[in-house]
Structure formats: structure tokens, C-alpha cells
């Protein structure tokens, strides 16, 4: 019997905790939530700013892990960047405002491909995580970037222009009521990357609070990863 999808809903998946050691010796902790059956693709989640409470359990990513494996057949890989703590534990090292975190992104992409043998992997950044994605997710094996409320806090125009030489797609979900970068400003800032697809989300805020915003984000992720536009059901 189906049930209404609620903020607390947790559907069946195969959960596997992991440790990954970066090239500079930092021990990253995280978890893979995989479908029970075949996987249609995967997302590597880069979380919001740790100094503002961001972590692998930030609510959109936790709900992605709780829902997407069963509802969409998508594998969700979450981890804490260096110096970040969540219920699952703490990654060693110290926060470096996105600089040394390049080791974290590179190690996690290698883990996704070399250890997990995942296919159709999309790098998904949220807030601080979008800066990490834009600056450091250059491994040629992933399929593209999904950006949730990018603030463009530390990403320079030069770093944006890199993506003009990279053919992979980028989609940015921009909340109408974002605290940092609203749709009109996003179109201006991202104009130097003409291929970048901006999706303005009405009434949404930077943190995607509320079930309608979460549902929209997860539905867009589902459509991008599976390649078939599909809104997730409200009952499952």
C-alpha cells in the first residue's frame, strides 16, 4: 500500500558507510545509499558551508538518500568534507574555505568510479558545495553538474569560463527568494557560460525549506540523472 511522502519518510535502500583517504591524508567519512535493484545513475553530494552547519545530513541530501534509491533507482553518495561533523561521524582535517577541499572532491570522484564502479555519475553541489563543484569537479568521468542555490561566493569568472571548454552540461536551480543569488542576478553572473541551464524555482529559498521545495529539487535531479523528465510521486 502506498503512503504519502513526508519529511520523515525513509524508503528501502542498501546503506553502506565508508571511509576515504585523500591524497593529503585526510580521512573522509560518508555513506552510500543504493537501490536494492539496478541503479540508473548516481549523484555525488557536495554539502553546504560547514561553518554555517552544512554537512552530509543537510536536509535535502538526507531526504535524497532516504527517497531516491527506492523512488527513482538513483544511488546517493554523501560525505563530510574535511573538518565536518554529522551524525555519521567526523572527517579529519580542517575546513579550508574550498581550497584544500579539492583533495576531498578528487578523492570522492575516484572512490565513485574506481571503488564503487558507478556509472552515470552527476556531481551535485548545494550552496558552498556548488563552489566546490565548479572549481574542483573536473574528473572527465562524471556526466555533469547539478547546482542547488549557487551563491558564487568564491568562484571567479575565470573558473566559470573553464566550463566553456568542457562539453558536459550544467543545470542550476535558483530559488526565487534566495539570500545570495536570485534568478535575474544568476542569469547575469552565469552569462559567461552560455550553455548553463538556469531553472528558476518560484517561492523557494536558499535552504529549500518545506516539502514542496524538496520535492521540486529531487524531481529535477531525477529528471537530469535518468534523462527522462519525471516528477516524483507524492505517494509511494
Total residue length of the chain: 236
**Cα 213 versus chain centre, distance:** 15
Q: What is the residue extent of each domain of the chain?
A: 14-226
pLDDT in tens, 191-221: 999 999 999 999 999 999 999 999 999 999 9
Q: How confident is the model at residue 1 (pLDDT cuts 50, 70, 90)?
A: confident
User: Which percentage of the chain shows pLDDT scores above 90?
Assistant: 99
Find the helix packing angle between 101-110 and 128-136, rounded to 10°: 70
Cβ atoms 47, 200 nearer than 8 A? no
Cβ atoms 44, 112 nearer than 8 A? yes
- Three-class SS of 115-169: HCCCCCEEEEEECHHHHHHHHHCCCCCCCEEEEECCCCCCCCHHHHHHHHCCCCC
Assign domain 14-226 to its CATH architecture: 3-Layer(aba) Sandwich (3.40)
Amino acid at each position: 500500500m502506498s503512503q504519502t511522502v513526508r519529511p520523515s519518510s525513509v524508503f528501502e535502500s542498501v546503506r553502506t558507510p565508508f571511509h576515504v583517504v585523500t591524497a593529503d591524508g585526510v580521512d573522509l567519512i560518508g555513506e552510500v545509499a543504493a537501490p536494492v535493484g539496478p541503479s540508473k545513475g548516481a549523484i555525488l553530494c557536495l554539502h553546504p558551508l560547514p561553518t554555517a552547519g552544512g554537512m552530509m545530513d543537510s536536509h535535502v541530501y538526507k531526504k535524497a538518500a532516504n527517497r531516491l534509491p527506492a523512488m527513482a533507482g538513483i544511488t546517493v553518495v554523501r560525505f563530510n568534507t574535511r573538518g565536518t561533523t554529522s551524525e555519521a561521524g567526523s572527517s579529519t582535517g580542517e575546513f579550508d574555505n574550498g581550497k584544500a577541499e579539492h583533495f576531498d572532491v578528487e578523492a570522492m570522484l575516484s572512490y565513485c568510479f574506481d571503488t564503487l564502479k558507478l556509472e552515470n555519475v552527476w556531481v551535485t553541489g548545494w550552496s558552498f558545495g556548488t563552489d566546490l563543484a565548479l572549481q574542483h569537479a573536473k574528473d572527465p568521468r562524471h556526466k555533469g553538474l547539478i547546482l542547488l542555490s549557487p551563491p558564487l561566493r568564491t568562484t571567479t569568472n575565470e573558473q566559470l569560463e573553464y566550463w566553456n571548454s568542457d562539453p558536459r552540461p550544467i543545470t542550476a536551480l535558483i530559488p526565487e527568494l534566495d539570500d545570495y543569488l536570485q534568478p535575474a542576478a544568476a542569469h547575469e553572473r552565469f552569462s559567461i557560460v552560455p550553455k548553463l541551464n538556469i531553472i528558476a524555482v518560484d517561492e523557494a529559498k536558499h535552504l529549500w525549506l518545506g516539502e514542496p521545495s524538496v520535492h521540486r529539487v529531487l524531481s529535477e535531479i531525477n529528471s537530469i540523472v535518468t534523462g527522462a523528465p519525471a516528477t516524483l510521486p507524492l505517494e509511494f
